[in-house]
Amino acid sequence: MKGQHSFIVLCCALLAASTVRADVVNGGFETGTTGWSIAGQGTAHDASFGVTPTHDTWAGYIENTGNGTIPAATMESLLHLPTGTVTGYVSGAPTVGTVMWQNVSVTAGQTLTFDWNFMSDELNEDPIYDDFAFFSIFGATAGFQTAPMLASRNSSSFTPGGPVGFDGTTGWSTVTYNFTITDTYRIGFGVMNVTDGGHNSALMLDGISIPDLPEPSSLAVFALSAPLILRRHRI
């Protein structure tokens, strides 16, 4: 009886330890921008804006014009990016834009996934206005991880039209990023003007999540537990 009791306790302990939770708050923007920090211009839009969200009713939105937009050096400071990251994406000089971020606790092996959609009013302007968008990952202990460009005016294909005020959108794409180190990470998103501060470009986001690691099946729990039980019986 005592052995059976130990087995049950062990199973419970293993299950508790295996349920790893990160905490992206409001990753689908169903409660506006709650949980997100924004420097610049950001909000949430539903389908009445002209773009259908990929998850439920609302999607996040940051744009690179308007009051409060910030320069490249401020973006790099807020997202903890190496100096030169934001000025290095395209050949033109960035001017001002917006970043949005959130800190999350992550266990090695977990994966970030999100949907993004870039839109621009620069498409019938000169290509020197190469507005762009990016995302970034920085670990409190692990340090800078990555900050790839998602899209730019000159490097992406666009579907003409889109929301009022834009010439076209890239449409939705999904990105995944695998965490290899357990840490607290700052996950950031940015959209930037290039050469001047006019003609809006925007990045929409939805379904930002870090799913729990899968729990082992009861069979796997038994397989993990069995050697410990056998060892106990030999004592």
Residues between 116 and 155 with contacts to Ca ion, criterion CB under 5 A: 121, 124, 131
Query: 106 exposed, middle or buried (CB, 10 Å; 0-12, 13-18, 19+)?
Result: buried
Please say which residue, 129 or 138, places its beta carbon nearer to Ca ion.
129
The CB-side HSE value for 16 (13 A sphere, CA atoms) comes to 6
Indicate whether 92 belongs to the interface with Ca ion (CB under 5 A).
no
Smallest gap from Cβ 131 to Ca ion, in A, equals 4
Indicate whether 76 belongs to the interface with Ca ion (CB under 5 A).
no
Rg over alpha carbons for the chain, rounded to the nearest Å, is: 22
Instruction: Give the residue, chosen from 76, 193, 202, 204, that forms a contact with Ca ion under the rule CB under 5 A.
Output: 193
Binding mask 24-63 for Ca ion (x = CB under 5 A): ----x------------------------x-xx-x-----
Smallest gap from Cβ 213 to Ca ion, in A, equals 23
Phi, psi (deg, nearest 5) at residue 143: 80, -165
The CB-side HSE value for 177 (13 A sphere, CA atoms) comes to 20
Query: 34 exposed, middle or buried (CB, 10 Å; 0-12, 13-18, 19+)?
Result: exposed
Which positions lie near Ca ion, rule CB under 5 A?
28, 53, 55-56, 58, 121, 124, 131, 167, 193, 199, 206
